[in-house]
């Protein structure tokens, strides 16, 4: 490695969703293997396990299935996180099971991703789960989606097959409002267009999957326009040196903050000016998402955790009535009229479920207005009323200030994932 080049590396988080046979684990295994990210002792361990089970080839899926129950049953139950890096970028893979009963895991994996890889079997074309995975990617606001048309080796690397699937996919994706979509013909098993360019598909002029992952523009994935700073923790050193210091610590959720900016604190609505933006390495001239910083203000004000610092002329909506798309995560169905705890940015509140508007059939994207029982893995549109105002943006505008979770106060479990609607 060249000296200091590691300081120019970016971080890309992506998720993969897939079912048992579509080659997802093979693809991840291929990426790790071809980018030399599998260690010898890991490889030897899975080689030995594969042999013990009487499998002919080394089963790369064993790399990602970390729990005893998963290895015993040969399935992926939970989200697994994998890491690899090239000199350009570090990658975090959220590897999620793609079966309908694991929608909640897909949603979890997608919630922090910049990019989603959706696998399509070239022999089968678009199937139910393609709609499902694409819908979840759009619902979770993933900016980049890459459709990998896999198993091209089994359709004789045919350009016609690829073009047909591409055209059909584009037709339904256009309705979903995904910012950036890409198509790559691959064979995960043989490594065509995964890390190395395929010699079997001269007709494909685009880059390999890894090339795309390394080069796709992710600089605009955060909202750098609407300034939002949820206060996470108040820093008061109470030492002689910093006797009057009062800093508001948090992670920028949107926009760019600079010393001298006129700001208001919510919910009080009091105005002030940013005095400094502090870090251990010194004060800085600007801070943007997703930086963790400490902001001090010119005026002494009563601000605590859960409050939000924003610009005077660009405020989030302050409201107790919130419409969300919810993905239900718990075995106990959503209770209409039920009360739940809510977490939104650094804010805590309680809420009551006022209305279930409709449920979405995630395979056809049809609205089900008759069936309003929201069970585990269901997605539906509901209305909440919270005990106190929250400072919200639509999820489409900002994934940080547009998301919330619902918690069952009896069990303390996280039961719902909510995306705030306009």
Partner 1 sequence: MKSYNLNHLKELESEAIYIVREVAAQFENPVLLFSGGKDSIVCAHIAKKAFHPAKIPFSLMHVDTGHNFPETIEFRDKYVKKLGANLIIASVQDSIDQGKAVEEKGFNASRNGLQTVTLLEGLDEHKFGAAMGGARRDEEKARAKERFFSHRDEFGQWDPKNQRAELWNIFNGMKNFGENFRVFPISNWTEMDVWQYILAEGIELPSLYFSHQRDCFIRDGVVMSECDFIPQREEEKTSEMTVRFRTIGDMTCTGAVESDADTIEKIIEEVAATRTTERGTRSDDKRSEAAMEDRKKQGYF
| Residue list 336-365, contact with partner 1 (CB under 8 A) | 341, 343-346
**Residue 144 touching partner 1 (CB under 8 A):** no
Binders in 173-192 for partner 1, by CB under 8 A: none
**Residue 74 touching partner 1 (CB under 8 A):** no
**Residue 311 touching partner 1 (CB under 8 A):** no
Nearer of residues 151 and 222 to partner 1, judged by Cβ: 222
CB atoms closer than 10 angstroms to residue 104: 22
Least distance from partner 1 to the Cβ atom of residue 312, Å: 22
CA distance 207 to 195: 9
Least distance from partner 1 to the Cβ atom of residue 208, Å: 21
**Residue 101 touching partner 1 (CB under 8 A):** no
**Residue 375 touching partner 1 (CB under 8 A):** no
Count of residues that interact with partner 1, criterion CB under 8 A: 83
Out of 77, 284, 352, 421, name the contact with partner 1 by CB under 8 A. Answer: 77
**Residue 96 touching partner 1 (CB under 8 A):** no
Q: Which two tokens stand for residue 182?
A: 């890409």
Q: Do residues 328 and 396 lie in contact, with contact meaning Cβ atoms separated by under 8 Å?
A: no
Q: Considering only the stretches 106-114, 192-200, 207-215, 318-326, report the one whose residues sit in contact with partner 1 under the rule CB under 8 A.
A: 106-114
Nearer of residues 80 and 155 to partner 1, judged by Cβ: 80
Reading phi first (left if > 0) and then psi (alpha if -120 to 50, else beta), residue 412 is in left
Q: Do residues 328 and 378 lie in contact, with contact meaning Cβ atoms separated by under 8 Å?
A: yes
Nearer of residues 63 and 356 to partner 1, judged by Cβ: 63
**Residue 396 touching partner 1 (CB under 8 A):** no
Write the binding mask 239 to 258 for partner 1: x where contact by CB under 8 A, - elsewhere.
x-xx--x-x-xxx----x--
Q: Considering only the stretches 263-271, 285-293, 363-371, 386-394, report the one whose residues sit in contact with partner 1 under the rule CB under 8 A.
A: 285-293
Nearer of residues 47 and 153 to partner 1, judged by Cβ: 47
Do strands 414-420 and 347-360 pair parallel, antiparallel, or not at all (unpaired)?
A: unpaired
**Residue 54 touching partner 1 (CB under 8 A):** no
**Residue 290 touching partner 1 (CB under 8 A):** yes
Out of 238, 244, 300, 313, name the contact with partner 1 by CB under 8 A. Answer: 238
CA distance 118 to 17: 6
CA distance 205 to 226: 38
Q: Do residues 12 and 112 lie in contact, with contact meaning Cβ atoms separated by under 8 Å?
A: no
Nearer of residues 82 and 133 to partner 1, judged by Cβ: 82
**Residue 133 touching partner 1 (CB under 8 A):** no
CB atoms closer than 10 angstroms to residue 348: 15
Q: Considering only the stretches 38-46, 145-153, 201-209, 378-386, report the one whose residues sit in contact with partner 1 under the rule CB under 8 A.
A: 38-46
CA dihedral sign, ordered 252, 255, 260, 264:
negative
Residue 371, CA distances (Å) to 115, 191, 326 in order: 32, 45, 15
Phi, psi (deg, nearest 5) at residue 46: -75, -25
Nearer of residues 83 and 203 to partner 1, judged by Cβ: 83
Residue 28, SS3?
Answer: helix
Least distance from partner 1 to the Cβ atom of residue 405, Å: 5
Nearer of residues 274 and 419 to partner 1, judged by Cβ: 419
Find the DSSP H helices in 197-282. 209-215
Q: Do residues 248 and 262 lie in contact, with contact meaning Cβ atoms separated by under 8 Å?
A: no
Nearer of residues 192 and 408 to partner 1, judged by Cβ: 408
Least distance from partner 1 to the Cβ atom of residue 327, Å: 9
**Residue 399 touching partner 1 (CB under 8 A):** yes
Out of 103, 111, 198, 386, name the contact with partner 1 by CB under 8 A. Answer: 111
CA distance 215 to 203: 21
Binders in 196-225 for partner 1, by CB under 8 A: 219, 222, 224
Q: Which two tokens stand for residue 189?
A: 């098993």
Distance linking the first and last C-alpha atoms of the chain: 47
Strand order in the sheet with 180-185: 80-85, 89-97, 10-18, 115-121, 144-150, 180-185
Question: What are the residues whose beta carbons fall under 8 Å from the beta carbon of 194, sequence distance 6 or more?
Answer: 27, 30, 31, 34, 186, 187, 188, 208, 209, 210
**Residue 107 touching partner 1 (CB under 8 A):** yes
- Return the residue matching tokens 């600079």: 258
Least distance from partner 1 to the Cβ atom of residue 352, Å: 18
Q: Considering only the stretches 144-152, 155-163, 237-245, 268-276, report the one whose residues sit in contact with partner 1 under the rule CB under 8 A.
A: 237-245
**Residue 279 touching partner 1 (CB under 8 A):** yes
């Amino acid at each position: 490695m060249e000296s200091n080049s590691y300081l120019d590396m970016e971080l890309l988080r992506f998720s993969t969703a897939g079912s048992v046979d579509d080659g997802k684990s093979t693809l991840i295994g291929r990426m790790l293997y071809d980018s030399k990210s599998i260690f010898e002792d890991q490889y030897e361990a899975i080689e030995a396990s594969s042999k013990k089970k009487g499998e002919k080839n080394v089963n790369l899926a064993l790399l990602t299935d970390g729990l005893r129950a998963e290895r015993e049953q040969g399935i992926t139950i939970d989200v697994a996180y994998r890491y690899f890096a090239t000199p350009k970028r570090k990658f975090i893979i959220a590897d999620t099971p793609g079966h309908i009963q694991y929608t909640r895991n897909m949603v979890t994996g997608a919630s922090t991703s910049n990019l989603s890889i959706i696998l399509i079997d070239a022999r089968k074309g678009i199937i139910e789960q393609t709609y499902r995975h694409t819908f979840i990617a759009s619902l979770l606001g993933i900016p980049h989606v890459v459709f990998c048309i896999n198993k091209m080796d089994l359709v004789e690397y045919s350009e016609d097959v690829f073009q047909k699937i591409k055209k059909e996919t584009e037709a339904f994706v256009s309705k979903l409002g995904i910012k950036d979509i890409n198509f790559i013909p691959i064979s995960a098993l043989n490594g065509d267009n995964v890390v190395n360019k395929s010699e079997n598909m001269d007709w494909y002029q685009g880059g390999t999957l890894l090339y795309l992952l390394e080069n796709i523009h992710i600089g605009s994935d955060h909202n750098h326009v609407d300034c939002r700073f949820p206060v996470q923790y108040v820093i008061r050193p109470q030492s002689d040196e910093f006797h009057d210091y009062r800093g508001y610590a948090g992670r920028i959720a949107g926009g760019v903050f600079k010393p001298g900016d006129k700001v208001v604190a919510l919910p009080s609505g009091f105005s002030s000016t940013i005095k400094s933006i502090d870090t251990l390495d010194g004060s800085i001239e600007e801070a943007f998402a997703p930086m963790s910083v400490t902001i001090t203000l010119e005026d002494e004000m009563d601000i605590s955790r859960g409050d939000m610092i924003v610009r005077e002329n660009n405020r989030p909506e302050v409201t107790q009535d919130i419409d969300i798309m919810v993905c239900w995560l718990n075995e106990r169905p959503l209770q209409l009229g039920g009360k739940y705890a809510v977490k939104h940015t650094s804010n805590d509140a309680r809420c009551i479920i006022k209305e279930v508007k409709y449920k979405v059939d995630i395979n056809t994207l049809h609205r089900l207005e008759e069936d309003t029982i929201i069970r585990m893995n269901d997605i539906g549109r509901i209305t909440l009323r919270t005990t106190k105002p929250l400072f919200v943006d639509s999820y489409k505008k900002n994934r940080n200030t547009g998301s919330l979770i619902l918690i069952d106060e009896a069990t303390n479990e996280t039961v719902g994932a909510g995306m705030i609607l306009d």
